[in-house]
Amino acid sequence: MDVLGIARAALVGHSIAGGLALGLAFAHPERISAVVVLGSGPLLPPLPVAGAHLSPRRAGAETGAPSEPTLEETRSGLEAMLYHREIVTPDELALYHSHSTGRCFEASVLRLKNSNGPITDPDLWKRLSETPVPLLMIYGAQDRADAGARAQLLKKLQPGLDLHIVENCKHLVQWDAAADFHRLAIPFLVRARTVSAI
């Protein structure tokens, strides 16, 4: 933001980037006007299971050295994150694959190698109601790791949150439920911009 000369901005964080965006809002509320979180599992509470807790799926849990995906592996991974698999056209697949290979893949491996410990605080979900800027959260009801049920639990625990659970939607909320994303996020961001300008 400094390099681009942006004094203040709203952030939209998908998946693990939701925690990163929220962390920036807590650390630098004067620079962040609002945060939209999409399908960020680490920001959800664990489900209670027979007196214990089921931990959320931890991001970055890898087995062995990562390898660049084949086109078929990219297709399989992409379809696993979508409820509406039919939107994966050959052109979309090629674009997504290009972002998963070559220099993009090398950069992601380097980021994982240089990261120390978890990227987000596993208990950050407990402080969501304290977020110092406007916060909008959108989850797919059919997302992995019981995200739909965990989002419902979060709504019950913190009813004041602006949290929406979209049916017929998995992990790629902004693509799988594009109409819902636009319907919820655009008015929210316009309101946040108006408030931050006052």
Note whether residue 158 is domain-resident: yes
Cα–Cα distance measured from residue 38 to residue 139, given in angstroms and rounded to the nearest whole number: 6
Note whether residue 99 is domain-resident: yes
Note whether residue 60 is domain-resident: no
Paired sense of beta strands 52-54 and 47-49, if any: antiparallel
pLDDT value for 55: 40
Both tokens of residue 68?
């660049």
pLDDT value for 43: 95
Cα–Cα distance measured from residue 169 to residue 140, given in angstroms and rounded to the nearest whole number: 4
Q: Could you tell me the CATH number of the domain that includes residue 180?
A: 3.40.50.1820
Note whether residue 57 is domain-resident: no
Note whether residue 51 is domain-resident: no
Q: What DSSP line would sit under 137-151, residue for residue?
A: EEEETT-STTHHHHH
Note whether residue 59 is domain-resident: no
Per-residue pLDDT for the chain (198 aa), expressed as one digit of tens each?
A: 999 999 999 999 999 899 999 999 999 999 999 999 999 999 999 998 644 444 444 333 444 668 899 999 999 999 999 999 999 999 999 999 998 889 988 888 887 777 654 456 788 999 999 999 999 999 999 999 999 999 999 999 999 999 999 999 999 999 999 999 999 999 999 998 865 543
Domain that holds residue 21: 1-45+67-198
**Nearest alpha carbon to residue 100 among 113, 91, 87, 109:** 109
Q: What's the full length of the chain, in residues?
A: 198
DSSP label of 29: T
Amino acid identity for residue 15 in this structure: S
User: Total domain count for the chain?
Assistant: 1
DSSP label of 2: T
Q: Maximum CA pair distance of the chain?
A: 52
Note whether residue 92 is domain-resident: yes
Report the predicted TM-score, pTM, of the whole model to 2 decimal places: 0.84
Note whether residue 50 is domain-resident: no
